[in-house]
């Protein structure tokens, strides 16, 4: 079994690393915004993070279950795979990446790397991180929030896609070939 203090430290480090990746990408891949999504679309991206951190912050008062070694190990694997996949997804987007839903000047359609399997791999991978987080720190509230987080990302993805269909040639054809959020499924 992974001791509680170690599991919580791994949780914190993983989420800090994800924040560091996002901030670094934001600084490295700045560019002129051609068209931006509305406030609701952009606010939706932060909501899952707030849900996870609320569940983590109040975990002792509610939401924990007895730690089980194999669940913790599965959670750790999901977190590591999700973190790596999220980071790789940003690298494949490069200058197209933005925190907000946006189309930048010179924006191109990316169909390589994780984008050949799913249109929104960052959302898929962050859902893996969230599921893994709940298992690693034995917090059923985080795990139980996954369907809600999926719905939030589904709405955000649909709103992003409206913007991309209008602004990016070839995006509609790409949508007909590649699944939205879960490779090979949905």
pTM of the model: 0.92
pLDDT tens by residue, 140-175:
899 889 999 999 999 999 999 999 999 999 999 999
Burial of 10 (0-12, 13-18, 19+ CB in 10 A): buried
Under 8 Å between Cβ of 76 and 10: yes
What is the fold, at CATH topology level, of the domain defined by 4-177?
Answer: 1.20.120
Separation between Cα atoms, residue 54 and residue 29, nearest integer Å: 30
The reported pLDDT for the residue numbered 158 is 93
Domains of the chain, residue spans: 4-177
The reported pLDDT for the residue numbered 37 is 80
User: pLDDT by residue for the chain (186 residues), tens digit each?
Assistant: 899 999 999 999 999 999 999 889 888 887 788 888 877 777 888 889 999 999 999 888 877 888 899 999 999 999 999 999 999 999 999 889 888 788 888 899 999 999 999 999 999 999 999 999 999 999 989 988 999 999 999 999 999 999 999 999 999 999 999 999 999 899
The reported pLDDT for the residue numbered 81 is 98
Under 8 Å between Cβ of 108 and 65: no
Nearest to 96 by CA among 75, 69, 78, 122: 122
Burial of 155 (0-12, 13-18, 19+ CB in 10 A): middle
């Amino acid at each position: 079994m992974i001791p509680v203090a170690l599991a919580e430290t791994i949780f914190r480090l993983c989420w800090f690393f994800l924040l560091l990746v996002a901030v670094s990408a934001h600084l490295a891949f700045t560019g002129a915004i051609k068209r931006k999504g509305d406030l609701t679309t952009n606010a939706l991206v932060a909501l899952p993070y707030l849900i996870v951190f609320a569940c983590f912050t109040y975990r002792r008062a509610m939401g924990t279950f007895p730690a089980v070694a194999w669940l913790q190990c599965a959670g750790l694997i999901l977190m590591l795979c999700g973190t790596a996949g999220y980071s790789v997804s940003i690298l494949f987007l490069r200058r197209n990446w933005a925190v907000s839903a946006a189309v930048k000047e010179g924006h191109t359609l990316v169909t390589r790397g994780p984008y050949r399997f799913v249109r929104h791999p960052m959302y898929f991978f962050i859902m893996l991180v969230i599921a893994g987080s709940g298992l690693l720190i034995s917090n059923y509230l985080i795990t139980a929030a996954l369907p809600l987080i999926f719905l939030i990302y589904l709405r955000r993805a649909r709103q992003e896609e409206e913007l991309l269909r209008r602004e990016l040639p070839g995006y509609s054809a790409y949508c007909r070939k590649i699944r939205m959020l879960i490779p090979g499924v949905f």
